[in-house]
């Protein structure tokens, strides 16, 4: 009698467990973020890969850029995840250390592939002795200046902190004459803690501050240079009122709107900003210049480091098709594919020597500046906890200092102490 | 065999319950007593240490205070608005009632995420309609940042919560109003009672059970509300509008401190179970009339 119930149950469960069985190899490719044109390009590229690599099919999924860590942590820790994915290069440390990313230098032709890229850019994918991905595109954080407002005021983009503060002060004004400030010198992205940290740290780096010691054991961002950088922002906000009062609520969209409507004159951004502004306000022009340096470092204006951020493509160490994934990775990131960053304005800089030296590259706006900045830029230190520290500790304490809840010294001391506890705990 | 038939029929539902309720809850309880490291792998038993960390964390108490304010103030205000509109709608003036009832219930059917984004723009310091009106009326200066100011951010999410919850209260109150026997009002009129006295001596007492249910339900739902706060402020600026559900997410998926995140969710769960018990008591003791 029991079989009357068991057999249908087993049959039902078997039916649920049945799936399409493919003779070839199926790769999962997760694409995080990207402008629509880039996503379209990636679809075309994958389609072309499938034609030239019979037997391999690629299933592409688009995911939120803001949820990379959540999504990948959840999947990796469950033993799942895609075969290949694009992420911040900073994750080389975090996921490389955890064994989630496969060291691509283990592939026999890696040395040959390595030659495609600018050496310092490729280095961002390295953690300890391994490379955990191939560079996709690079970003250097710069100062963008609203050309219309600067020209109207008759001032040039600032090079030093004094010039920067003065420019922001002059460009903060009551344009409607109603006694209310409605145009501001600077906007910061306070509504996104990660975005805020990425935009503030270039000032620390330009002042020669090390975020961490070289051996990655000691937090250093609370050094005098760091305090000076934070003090600059705090004074601009509290004394000059030249930073938008509502910055703590702002993310990309608000900043873009304020810039396009001439409500702010300056913002710390990257190569994506020109395209974003152009989408909303076609033809609106801007000066794109390095982030200013402390007054006594003017001689280093062109060489002082800013923050480098990079996107890389990596392979899941648990992929069952490592070789096929490597083939796809190379196809997506080879010199031919990299030319797309030159021919289209996609919001980041190409990373291969051939693309950057191509004739077409000469027509890309701001490219020489970005290349120069990238030559000197530094990424976040490659500690597995660094990104969490930047977003969850560094950013909130610095925000408290800017709005006056803590002094810059106290804020950085608190932040450094908490960050050091995280670093020590990690050991 | 007939003896087992009910169990066989119940099996799929039980299986579903185990997978979606019992297993996650049990795993969460276990996680709350572990030092869960997704990076390094391996979990270390730490007993009640995560609970101790939470209760010693000033951010937990701030989030708890904010959650309580958000839930209680948001619900009470929504009930007041809902009651006011229900009283208006209870006055029969033809099709106007139907149109007004339709319009008033719109916030209820809007997705909380969509509503959160809409409120974010409504309250935008430079382009928001609120600042436009208030500036024109000379009440505030243009650029007043409601969501960017730690002193006003929580108030803003409460206002948004009221906007979203009042239609439910209104519908419930309206149903309650329509069950009040007209004889009571007629008798009061004969006795010469004023409208004011009728409201306090007849209407409100008759709505007591509806109000109790709404209050408890509203507090439970607000206590558990993640969407509105997350979309509008993410708990900021500088944690000024941090509430418990957003803090659970922050601990679990931003700090990846799953042990602390699980412990906090268990604490929140315990609070919600207590409120649900209160709700059942209220429901149980409700006057059937």
pLDDT tens-digit series, residues A383-413? 888 888 998 899 999 999 999 999 999 999 9
> Nearest to residue A345, comparing CAs of A300, A279, A296?
A279
Q: Which residue from B120, B236, B255 is facing A392, i.e. has the nearest CB?
A: B255
Which one of A98, A190, A246, A399 makes the best mutation probe of the B interface by having the most chain B beta carbons within 10 Å?
Answer: A246
pLDDT at A6 over 60: no
Kindly report, residue by residue over A108-147, the tens digit of the pLDDT.
999 999 999 998 889 989 998 999 999 999 999 999 999 9
pLDDT score of A318 more than 80: yes
Q: Which pLDDT band, with edges at 50, 70 and 90, does A70 fall under?
A: confident
Interface touch B255/A1, C-beta < 8 Å: no
Calpha distance A139→A310 (Å, rounded): 6
Report strand pairing: A56-63 vs A25-32. parallel
- A262-304 residue pLDDT tens: 999 999 999 989 988 998 999 999 999 999 999 999 999 999 9
Which phi and psi angles does A267 have, rounded to 5°?
-155, 150
In our burial notation (b when 16+ CB lie closer than 10 A, e otherwise), range A376-403 reads bbbbbbbbbbbbbbbbbbbbbbbbbbbb
* Calpha distance A334→A115 (Å, rounded): 11
Inter-chain contact A263–B126, Cβ cutoff 8 Å?
yes
Q: The domain A142-307+382-426: what is its CATH number?
A: 3.40.190.10
Same fold, A25-132+310-376 and A142-307+382-426: yes
Which class is domain B50-284? Answer: mainly alpha
Query: How far is residue B143's CA from residue A187's CA, in Å, rounded to a whole number?
Result: 13
Q: How many CB atoms lie within 10 A of CB B100?
A: 14
pLDDT of B283 above 90: no
* pLDDT 10s digits, B258-268: 899 999 999 99
**Chain B CB within 8 Å of residue A190 CB:** yes
A219: β partners: A212
Question: Which residues are CB-contacts of B54 (< 8 A; sequence separation ≥ 6)?
Answer: B60, B260, B263, B264, B267
Which residues of B fall within a CB distance of 8 Å from A390? none
Q: Is the domain A25-132+310-376 a CATH 3.60.20.10 member?
A: no
pLDDT of A415 above 90: yes
Q: Report the DSSP beta bridge partners of residue A86.
A: A313
Is residue A16's pLDDT more than 80? no
Q: Is A172 on the interface with B (CB under 8 A)?
A: no
Q: What angle do CA B16, B21, B25 make, to 5 degrees?
A: 145
Q: By C-alpha distance, which of A79, A20, A380 is closest to A219?
A: A380
Structure token digits, residue A368:
């020489």
Mean residue pLDDT across chain A = 91
Q: Which one of B40, B142, B148 has the shortest CB-CB distance to A190?
A: B148
Residue A10: pLDDT above 80?
Answer: no
**pLDDT tens for residues B205-264?**
999 989 998 998 999 999 989 999 999 998 988 889 999 999 999 888 887 888 999 999
ipTM, two decimals: 0.73
> Looking at the partner chain, which of A94, A254, A399 has a beta carbon nearest the beta carbon of B124?
A254
Share of chain B above pLDDT 70, in %: 96
Mapping DSSP to helix (H, G, I), strand (E, B) and coil, where does residue B38 land?
coil
CA distance A81 to A84: 9
Nearest to A392 by CA among B20, B138, B253: B253
Point out the least confidently predicted range of A325-329, B42-46, B54-58, B132-136: B42-46
Which residue among A94, A178, A254 places its CB closest to the CB of B39?
A94
- pLDDT given at position B97: 81
Q: Which DSSP symbol is given to A21?
A: -
Task: Tell me whether A125 touches chain B (CB under 8 Å).
Answer: no
Q: Which of B38, B149, B248 to mutate to test the interface with A (most CBs of A within 10 A)?
A: B38
Contact B150 A248 (CB under 8 A): yes
pLDDT of residue B255: 79
CB of B180 closer than 8 Å to CB of B90: no
d(CA B229, CA B239): 11
Q: Is the pLDDT of residue A229 over 80?
A: yes
Q: Is A174 on the interface with B (CB under 8 A)?
A: no
- B254 contacts in chain A (CB < 8 Å): 69-70, 388, 391-392
């Amino acid at each position: 009698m029991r079989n009357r119930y068991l057999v249908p149950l087993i049959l039902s469960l078997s039916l649920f467990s049945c799936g399409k069985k493919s003779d070839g190899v199926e790769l999962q490719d997760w694409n995080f973020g990207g402008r629509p044109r880039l996503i379209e390009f990636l679809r075309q590229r994958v389609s072309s890969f499938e034609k030239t690599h019979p037997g391999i099919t690629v299933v592409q999924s688009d995911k939120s850029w803001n949820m990379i860590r959540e999504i990948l942590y959840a999947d990796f820790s469950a033993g799942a995840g895609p075969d290949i994915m694009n992420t911040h290069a900073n994750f080389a440390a975090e996921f490389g250390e955890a064994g989630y990313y496969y060291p691509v230098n283990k592939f026999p032709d890696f040395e040959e592939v390595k030659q495609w890229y600018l050496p310092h850019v490729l280095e961002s994918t390295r953690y300890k002795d391994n490379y955990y991905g191939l560079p996709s595109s690079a970003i250097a954080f710069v100062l963008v200046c609203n050309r219309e407002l600067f020209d109207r005021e008759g001032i040039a983009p600032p090079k030093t902190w004094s010039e920067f503060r003065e420019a922001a002060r002059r460009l903060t004004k009551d344009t409607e004459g109603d006694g209310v400030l409605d145009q501001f010198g600077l906007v910061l992205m306070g509504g996104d803690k990660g975005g805020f940290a990425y935009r503030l740290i270039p000032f620390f780096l330009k002042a020669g501050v090390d975020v961490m010691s070289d051996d990655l054991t000691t937090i250093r961002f609370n050094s005098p240079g760091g305090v000076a950088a934070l003090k600059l922002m705090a004074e601009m906000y509290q004394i000059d009122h030249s930073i938008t009062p509502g910055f703590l609520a702002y993310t990309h969209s608000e900043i873009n709107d304020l810039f396009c409507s001439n409500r702010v004159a300056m913002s710390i951004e990257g190569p994506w900003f020109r395209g974003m502004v152009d989408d909303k306000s076609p033809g609106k022009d801007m000066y794109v210049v390095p982030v200013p340096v402390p007054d006594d470092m003017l001689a280093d204006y062109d060489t002082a480091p800013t923050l480098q951020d990079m996107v890389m493509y990596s392979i899941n160490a648990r992929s069952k098709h490592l070789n096929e994934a490597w083939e796809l990775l190379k196809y997506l990131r080879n010199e031919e594919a990299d030319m797309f960053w030159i021919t289209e304005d996609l919001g980041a800089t190409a990373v291969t020597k051939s693309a950057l030296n191509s004739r077409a590259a000469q027509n890309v706006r701001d490219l020489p500046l970005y290349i120069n900045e990238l030559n000197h830029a530094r990424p976040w230190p490659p500690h597995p906890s660094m990104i969490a520290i930047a977003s969850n500790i560094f950013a909130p304490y610095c925000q408290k200092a800017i709005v006056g809840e803590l002094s810059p010294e106290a804020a950085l001391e608190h932040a450094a102490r908490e960050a050091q506890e995280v670093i020590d705990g990690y050991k | 065999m007939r003896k087992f038939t009910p169990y066989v029929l119940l099996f799929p539902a039980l299986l579903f319950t185990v997978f979606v309720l019992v297993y996650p809850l049990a795993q969460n309880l276990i996680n709350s007593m572990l030092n869960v490291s997704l990076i390094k792998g391996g979990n270390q038993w730490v007993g009640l240490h995560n609970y101790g960390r939470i209760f010693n964390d000033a951010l937990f108490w701030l989030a708890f205070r904010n959650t309580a304010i958000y839930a209680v103030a948001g619900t009470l205000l929504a009930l007041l608005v809902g009651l006011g509109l229900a009283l208006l709608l209870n006055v029969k003036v033809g099709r106007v009632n139907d149109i007004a009832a339709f319009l008033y219930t719109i916030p209820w059917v809007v997705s909380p995420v969509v509503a959160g984004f809409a409120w974010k723009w409504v309250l935008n310091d430079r382009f928001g309609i609120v600042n436009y009106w208030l500036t024109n009326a000379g009440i505030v200066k243009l650029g007043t940042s409601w969501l960017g100011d730690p002193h006003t951010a929580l108030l803003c999410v409460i206002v948004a919560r009221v906007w979203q919850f009042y239609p439910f209260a209104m519908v419930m109150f309206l149903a309650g109003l329509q069950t009040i026997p007209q004889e009571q009002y007629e008798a009061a009129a004969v006795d010469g009672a004023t409208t004011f006295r009728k409201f306090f001596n007849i209407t409100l007492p008759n709505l007591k059970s509806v109000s109790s249910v709404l209050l408890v339900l509203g507090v439970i739902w607000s206590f558990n509300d993640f969407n509105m706060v997350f979309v509008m402020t993410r708990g900021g600026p500088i944690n000024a509008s941090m509430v418990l559900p957003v803090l659970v997410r922050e601990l679990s998926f931003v700090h990846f401190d799953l042990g602390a995140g699980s412990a906090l969710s268990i604490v929140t769960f315990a609070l919600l179970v207590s409120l649900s018990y209160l709700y059942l008591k209220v429901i149980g003791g409700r006057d059937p009339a």
